[in-house]
A and B are shown apart, each in its own frame.
Chain A
Amino acid sequence: MRRALRYLICFALLGAVLAVLLVWNISAGSVYFAPGEILSALLSPPDGGIIWGIRLPRVLAAAILGGALSVSGFLLQTFFANPIAGPFVLGISSGAKLTVSLCMVLLLSRGVVISSMALILAAFAGSMLSMGFILLLSRRVRQMSMLVVSGVMIGYICSAVTDFVVTFADDSNIVNLHNWSLGSFSGTSWENVGLMALVVGAGLALSFLLSKPIGAYQMGEVYAQNMGVNIRRFRVELILLSSVLSACVTAFAGPISFVGIAVPHLVKGLFRTARPVLIIPACFLGGAAFCLGCDLIARTAFAPRDMSISSVTAVFGAPVVLCLMASRRGGRGGNP
């Protein structure tokens, strides 16, 4: 019972932080809105004003995509039994970045307009490409640190190719592409928000439904199988879900670093458990709050200039990762 109370309080806390950040994000900026103004604007029908037209979609995008990133990170950490696995360090975001920029450069230069859905698909293809490499490597390297190093290498290769591609892009595209490839929530349209809500919502729901086998998998493959998990199917499901989630983020906001590692870790520490049935929804809330906070800083710290979201998430996320690595001497799945 004491545990149940703790979980309730934690969820309430996450919800409250998220709500405060949502309001703060809408109100802060070059034009300030008081909470009362926000409320009245939200109650009135949508218009093309700053709140409905610019702030609200951006805020929602940050929340949805931040949540998706953390859940994706949590799934990958479970899959690799490795606390510092995540879509960014494993090079999965960079793979998505590569295919998306390829798509953009090739199609935009021919005057073809790319739909958001096509971008998601391109990002998904790139994610799966990187994931495929990582899976191949993970059979050979069992040590967690080596796996992460391989991921970082894959990330570098993908980034290098992306830069190469960008060099050949039209001048008019480069600015957009460059901003996007650094990671940013700016310029999100309502159409985008709708689509990302759909994809992330589905991914989140499916992940939540997988929380029972995920919990079993935390005990290791042998025990999970003996408990009645169809390991082969489960592994495929886990890979697909985490790739879809992180691909969706990359398609809309570019690669965003460290959220996928830092948030699950912080959330597990807060709840003092790793039970997926609690941690998956908590990760979503926590990731949403984390990205809202970071986006707030990215937008306002050096206003009117936008910083890239990745630089902010790295500042707050990377120290968490360093602490994680320092606190685990041996490492899991590796040789002690």
Chain B
Amino acid sequence: MSGIKLRTENLAVGYSGRALIGDIALSLHQGQIMTLIGPNGAGKSTILKSVIRQLALVGGAVYLNGRDMAPMPEREVARRLSVLMTGHIHPELMTCFDVAATGRYPYTGRLGILSREDREKVSQCLELVHASGLAEQDFSRISDGQRQRVLLARALCQEPEVLVLDEPTSFLDIRHKLELLAILKDMVRLRQLAVLMSLHELDLAQKVSDWVVCVRGDRIDRQGPPEEIFSAEYIMELYGGTRGSYSALFGSLELERAAGEPEVFVIGGGGAGIPVYRRLQRQGVPFAAGVLPENDVDFPVAAALAARVVAERPFQSVGEDAFRQARAVMDRCRRVVCPLERFGPVNEKNRLLRDLARQAGKLEE
């Protein structure tokens, strides 16, 4: 990894001189995306606002390209670091081009008149975020997703080395979330930008970040590459969640399981079980799932939602032991559901379970 673009040392942030979070040590490298995650009100925005000098530091220092930012003139900071913050802006009578062009501020003269070169750069930046078609449209009349892209173009017009974004994907629908992050990824690759941002969406944070920082009320709890941070237990602990679970593999959240003795036995596998698990969970019916090899796609969801899971070791055919267990559990259930339609050598025993259930008159067809 090449040069460190942004570094904080003993940074303490907070409001009116009182530190909320202390001892913050971050190092953001060129071409890297660093993401702050953590519960609401944990201080992610406070850290970002302090880094961009919107809030006075309570202690410590922020270094931009190795130089202390505090005494740097505004213009110099503006040429190296640009922002995309939450909160709507309402510029009057401005086209998207005008809004993006405000990013040229640190490069224009006394009256801020754009040169031909400036105009070309603005057009390029709009092109980069796929917003060329919006250039002449009124900024107040476009959608939230388009607005974020235009504001990203604005930030890029500043030709920054470091980009700071505060929850850039809030308010956006999934398509625009993905689009924005994809553009961001491209920017990082193409322009070797260093990105510091906060994200609400854990699944996206896990996928897009090179480095994850966990902010937790009064401290930086942990930081590291996403594969180290995103474990099911830790994420639930970080967010103080007790009613549900987090799947580290898929970055998805599951609601709390219905507790109690299983009433329904679900014979699933290969993705067929998941919709049934979810439906039973919604209805508050405790259920058992089986027989699932541990590498089955249904397995993590069943493990999160089912009262009981009968599992087989990965890459094994369902064996005698598992079959007996499943049968015992099934006998105690009042109903059996079998969304599974295809059977093969690996799950032959599941077909047997289904036939037994049918004979017992428990199977819901």
The reply to whether chain A is a binding partner of chain B is yes
A225 touches B (CB below 8 Å): yes
CB atoms of B94 and A274 under 8 A apart: yes
Q: Interface range on chain B: under 10, 10 to 19, 20 to 34, or 35 or more? A: 20 to 34
Residues of A within 8 A of B54 (CB): 222, 225
Among the 9-residue stretches A35-43, A90-98, A211-219, A247-255, the one with 4 or more Cβ atoms under 8 Å from chain B is A211-219
Partner of B105 from the list A228, A230, A268 (CB cut-off 8 Å) is A228
User: With A216-B102, A216-B105 in contact, is A226–B93 under 8 Å at CB?
Assistant: no
Complexed CA–CA distance, A273 and B99 (Å): 12
B339 touches A (CB below 8 Å): no
Interface of B is mostly: loop
A229 touches B (CB below 8 Å): yes
A220 touches B (CB below 8 Å): yes
Residues of A within 8 A of B93 (CB): 268, 272-274
User: With A211-B112, A277-B112, A277-B113 in contact, is A227–B91 under 8 Å at CB?
Assistant: no
Residues of A within 8 A of B302 (CB): none
User: With A218-B92, A225-B53 in contact, is A212–B112 under 8 Å at CB?
Assistant: yes
CB atoms of B113 and A227 under 8 A apart: no
Residues of A within 8 A of B59 (CB): none
19 contacts between A and B (CB under 8 A): A209-B111, A212-B108, A215-B102, A216-B105, A218-B91, A218-B92, A219-B99, A222-B85, A223-B83, A225-B52, A226-B52, A226-B83, A226-B158, A228-B75, A230-B74, A273-B98, A274-B93, A275-B98, A277-B111
Complexed CA–CA distance, A230 and B76 (Å): 12
Q: What residues of chain A have their CB less than 8 Å away from a CB belonging to chain B?
A: 81, 83, 209, 211-212, 215-216, 218-220, 222-223, 225-230, 268, 272-275, 277, 332
Complexed CA–CA distance, A209 and B99 (Å): 21
Residues of B within 8 A of A273 (CB): 93-94, 98
B145 touches A (CB below 8 Å): no
Complexed CA–CA distance, A216 and B79 (Å): 15
Complexed CA–CA distance, A226 and B103 (Å): 9
B345 to chain A, nearest CB (A): 61
A3 to chain B, nearest CB (A): 10
B136 to chain A, nearest CB (A): 10
Partner of B74 from the list A83, A220, A225 (CB cut-off 8 Å) is A225
B82 touches A (CB below 8 Å): yes
